[in-house]
Each structure stands twice: as structure tokens, then as C-alpha cells.
Amino acid sequence: MSGPAPLSGVRVLDVSTLFAGPLAATFLGDFGAEVIKVEHPTKPDAARGHGPAKQGVNLWWKTLGRNKRTVTIDLGQPEGAELLLELAIEADVLIENFRPGTLERWGVSPERLLDVNPRLVIARVTAFGQSGPYSGRPGFGSLAEAMSGFAALTGEPDGPPTLPPFGLADGIAALTCAYAIAVALRAAERDGRGQVVDLAIIEPILMLLGGQITAYDQLGIVQPRTGNRSVNNAPRNVYRTAQGDWVAVSTSSQSIAERVMRLVGQEDVVHEPWFASGHSRAEHADELDAAVAAWIAERSTAEVLAAFEEAQAAIAPVYDVRGIVDDPQYRALGTIQTVTDEELGPVRMQNVLFRLSQTPGAIRWAGRPHGEDTAAVLSEIGVTTERVSALRKKGVV
């Protein structure tokens, strides 16, 4: 590393639960922010119970909780709320995802937090936002995937709308939240004032679904489900090789589409007038898919990948996790890192999201046990050992 991590010196209080808020804090911690994860003393972040565990140790938490120190505080108790205010004095960012009104009910509203620390950036991550008729409803990323139009667009044309088998909307919201925090921190640096980030999980995924709102507004178009096909180009699908593996082909650019069809022996189709644009090619997807599928089905996976590479056409194998961990490109990028963990020993997980040439991020440690750093963190704001013991007896920490 050529210099301090880019977010070194930024202190983040992560009082959120499950995925969008905590993952945003993870992204900040990966690039040097000091993240303090605050959980209830007897009801840890529910993410600690999601997915598989080894010897009672949750495995997803090792990634989601990495680079965070873990503290327990019952924010619903007056003394717990007071501790949060004391922590907020020295913080730069607070991330929460309780239902609107919860912080206010506990006596730690944004107004009070900004009163004790006017430079604080407060990120409020909820399913539906802080206002509007749905704001008080419980909600998760799956509802955002439904409401945004993602599920309606996903799946086979004659099948039901399909939800993703992972937290897609939460992940997109987490990336957006980290971006919003970086923007607000820059404004705080310039103006000396913090502010509230109101992030509704239903919104970022909607933005990434493209121009569907404008197309509906201007042309009345309602995009249908097309399975693995695209309404914007063809051929674009997954195809099975002679040995039963699946590969994905994309032809988003005209030149790639031409290379693919020449490779599979369909030179004539390239000269058809309708082949000149992605949208018109998509109207002939049956014909194009049939030609590509037949060519791929006659060859082994290695032959197909090698031929596409030689032709400079776009293709990728459809991996499960076994293919991912063995792939030479991921290995060259360092996408998967091994972290030494005090509970599990060596643990492999995804690396930080991107590479910076001068101030790269790093995984300093994997997710730590519930409340592991409570006494150490509280001592840094002047809470004595005796006070910590008294608070523990009351169930506050």
C-alpha cells in the first residue's frame, strides 16, 4: 500500500441489521473506515443466522461482518440510547435501517444526533423510504425486486415472475448507500454540515432496470418476460455444449454479433437488412438462437470457448461456485482472498470490490463474534470498566 487507506480516519456506526445497511458498512470498512457494528445484547443481527454454519459459526457473517468491531447495546433502553449519542459524538457516519420513527421513539432522532455532532452523516435505509403511504410497512429486498419490475421481467415467457435466489435489491441498495455516504461526506468536508440520507431499497434497483419508465411514458411499451433472451439484441442466450455444460453468449455490439454468426457458419444472415441493429436482430431471435445452439451442441466446452476466443466473440461459461474458485481470471485478479480467522482458521471470501493503484482496500479481519469489542470500544469514549459491568448487569450492553 502506497499510503493510508482512502477512508482511514472515517468512523462508521453500523446499527443496521440484515443486508443493505450492513453491506454498505462493509464496503466502507474494506477501504479503511473504522466500522463499529452495534447489535442488541440478546438479539444479534439476524444475518448471523442466515445460510450455512460450521461448528456453530455462521459463514456468511464472516464476509458481511469483516473489518468491523462488534459492540452490543440495547438502543431501546434510555442508557443504551445515551451510549449511542456518546459514540455519535466521535463518529462521521451512522447507518440504520429501523422502521421510520424508531430512532425518534428511542430519543436518538436525526435532529438529536446532529445536535451532538453537526457533521454526522446519517444513512437511513428502509424498504420504502421515510415518507409516503408505505413507509411504515415492514419490507425486505424481495419486495423491491417485485415492485421495481425486476421479477416481472425475469423468467420464461410462459412462466411466473421470478425472484432472484440472493439479495439482489439489498446488494444494489448497499452499493448505492455507500456511494451516497461518500457524496455526503464530501459535502460535510466542504460545508462543515452533516445530513440525512433517505434511501429506499425499492429505488436503486428500479434505476438499474434501464429505460422502461421512459419507454412506457413515450410509447406505452410494457417490456415482457423473455427468459434468457434480450429485447435489445440477439443472439443472447445460454446454450448447452456437447458435454452438457452451459455457456452464455452476448452480442450487445454489432461487430460481436457479426463475428458470432460467421463463426457458426451463418455468413449470409449477417447481410440481411434486419441484422443491422440489435432491436431488429431480437425480432429474429428464434432463427439466430437455433443456429448458435446447433453449432455449440456439436462441440465440447473447451472447443467452443477456444473458438469464440479466437474469433474475438463474447462468451463465458455458466459457473456454479466450483467453477468460480478455480477460474484463472478470478485468480489473476485476486478476486478470492484467504483470510485468517480466529474461529475458523483460513477462510476464503470475495475480495474488495475494486483495485486502487495507490490506496487499495483490504480485508483486515473476518466477521467477529457477537459483542467481541464492546468493552474496548466503550473505553475509547471514556466509559469505565465499572460502568460497563453495571450496564451489563442491566442488560444494556
Catalytic residues: 170
Nearest residue to 32 (alpha-carbon basis) of 3, 13, 15, 9: 9
Helix axis angle for 285-297 and 254-263, nearest 10°, is 50
C-alpha separations of 248 from 68, 84, 322 in Å: 37, 49, 17
Q: 58-67: b or e for each residue (b if 16 or more CB lie within 10 Å)? A: bbbbbbbbbb
Asked if omega into 328 is within 30° of 0 (cis), the reply is: no
End-to-end CA distance of the chain: 37
Instruction: State the residue for C-alpha cell 440472493.
Output: 166
